[in-house]
């Protein structure tokens, strides 16, 4: 009888323990696996366990695959901003943690991640994405859950033209980046003819279409317009067409892994003109892929300026490297500012909610009302669509071992 009685007491306790373990393995940052889980643990380290209300801020960017260099810079920039405010949130009674997700630059995975984030009530905001083609379908899910998104990098025009209240970005759109890049090519580089290439994505083709329209408006001869597939290792079939046309400029709308191969193969085929692209080709990995000699002279527009142009910015970069163990990349700063926009909105919502944890709707309202918020690099005021009224476009050039900031395109 004693054995039966003891078993009847222990069994509910064992079931409760299993239930708790099951919840922890799926619903918290520390339960994530792979790169995202390690990053979540790192961000929450030292945050303390005394806080009673958890607040998770997610990132969505490619943390694996060919675009992971930029994806990691976005995650790390956001993480640095969050770390700097963890103590402040702890004093207010909140356990603030990063919840990084690897969207692998894949729309399907981005959507799956978005569904998971929406289902977790502790997630109050998302910094991301990098790829517009991932952000657009994922934002449909954010909209259903009133989960605010602030992107440091999505430039595709369509993203903020669909009327979603949750979507915001602090960077410029491609209808600014494309025309300004085309004007720079004509007026500063003296380009009279161009061959246009894109990677068939929402971002790449959308950007090239904007560039094409401006070139045609300005009288620059468009000698060709072709798409290439992401992930391939040989683009000689299209490079042969380009070289035969002998344009002054090759313009590529796409991401650095493909750009690096195109640059390398174009130079190998004897192309002597200028190679240009948008912000997607901004990565030190392009030099590794193309080779230093081929990469030298490649120019690209960017939606983010060089923070190290000021003494304050140089000090920030030094502290960033000291804390995060790596140098900040171009989008590290914009991810930092995107995170701070969200955290500022959450603090405003907490205050308006009498010091209590706010709802997603309250956070969304506060973030959407952001006006004249001064980030580390960019000032932010959102318009009705979620676009930043202070966004600019900048120009850079590759050297053999680095990129050089050339300035803002007026």
pLDDT digits (tens, 9 = 90+) for 127-143: 999 999 999 999 999 99
Average pLDDT, the chain: 90
Cα–Cα distance, 59 to 57 (Å, whole number): 7
| Residue with more model confidence, 44 or 375 | 375
Indicate the pLDDT class of residue 81, thresholds 50, 70 and 90. Answer: very high
Per-residue pLDDT, averaged over 334-346, amounts to 98
Cα–Cα distance, 152 to 106 (Å, whole number): 18
Indicate the pLDDT class of residue 29, thresholds 50, 70 and 90. Answer: low
Cα–Cα distance, 103 to 134 (Å, whole number): 8
Cα–Cα distance, 55 to 9 (Å, whole number): 36
Total count of residues recorded for the chain: 410
Contact indicator for 378, 399 with CB cutoff of 8 Å = no
**pTM for the full model?**
0.84
Residues 6+ apart with CB under 8 A from 351: none
Residue 32 pLDDT: 44
For residues 300-335, b (16+ Cβ closer than 10 Å) or e, as one string?
A: bbbbbbbbbeeeebeebbeebeeebeeebbbbbbbb
Indicate the pLDDT class of residue 206, thresholds 50, 70 and 90. Answer: very high
Q: pLDDT for 387-404, tens place per residue?
A: 999 999 999 999 999 999
Query: Residue 270: pLDDT above 50?
Result: yes
Q: Report all structural domains of the chain as residue ranges with CATH numbers, in order of start.
A: 40-172+313-380 (3.40.50.2300), 175-302 (3.40.50.2300)
Query: Residue 107: pLDDT above 70?
Result: yes
């Amino acid at each position: 009888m004693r054995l039966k009685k003891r078993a009847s007491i222990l069994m509910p306790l064992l079931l409760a323990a299993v239930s708790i373990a099951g919840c922890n393995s799926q619903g918290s940052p520390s339960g994530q696996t792979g790169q995202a889980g390690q990053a979540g643990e790192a961000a929450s380290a030292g945050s303390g366990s005394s806080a009673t209300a958890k607040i998770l801020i997610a990132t969505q960017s490619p943390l694996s695959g060919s675009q992971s260099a930029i994806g990691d810079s976005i995650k790390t920039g956001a993480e640095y901003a969050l770390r700097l405010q963890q103590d402040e949130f702890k004093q207010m009674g909140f356990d603030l943690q990063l919840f990084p997700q690897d969207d692998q630059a894949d729309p399907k995975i981005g959507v799956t991640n978005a569904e998971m984030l929406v289902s977790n009530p502790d997630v109050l905001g998302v910094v991301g994405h990098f790829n517009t083609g991932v952000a657009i379908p994922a934002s449909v899910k954010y909209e259903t859950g009133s989960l605010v998104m602030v992107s440091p990098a999505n430039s595709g025009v369509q993203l903020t033209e669909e009327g979603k209240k949750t979507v915001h970005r602090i960077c410029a759109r491609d209808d600014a980046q494309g025309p300004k890049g085309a004007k720079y090519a004509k007026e500063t580089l003296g380009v009279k003819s161009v061959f246009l290439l894109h990677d068939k994505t929402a971002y790449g083709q959308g950007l090239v279409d904007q560039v094409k329209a401006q070139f045609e408006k300005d009288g620059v001869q468009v000698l060709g317009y072709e798409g290439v597939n992401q992930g391939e290792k040989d683009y000689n079939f299209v490079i042969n067409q380009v070289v035969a046309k002998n344009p002054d400029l090759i313009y590529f709308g796409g991401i650095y892994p493909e750009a690096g191969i195109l640059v390398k193969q174009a130079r190998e085929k004897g192309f002597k003109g200028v190679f240009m692209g948008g912000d997607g080709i901004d990565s030190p990995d392009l030099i590794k892929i193309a080779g230093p000699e081929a990469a030298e002279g490649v120019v690209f527009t960017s939606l983010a300026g060089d923070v190290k142009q000021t003494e304050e910015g140089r000090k920030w970069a030094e502290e960033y490297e000291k804390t995060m163990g790596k140098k900040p990349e171009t989008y590290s700063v914009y991810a930092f500012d995107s995170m701070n926009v969200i955290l500022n909105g959450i603090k405003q919502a907490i205050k308006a909610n009498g010091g209590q944890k706010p709802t997603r709707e309250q956070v969304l309202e506060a973030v959407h009302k952001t006006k004249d918020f001064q980030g580390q690099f960019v000032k932010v005021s959102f318009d009705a669509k979620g676009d930043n009224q202070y966004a600019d476009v900048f120009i850079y050039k590759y050297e053999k071992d680095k990129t050089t900031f050339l300035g803002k395109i007026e």
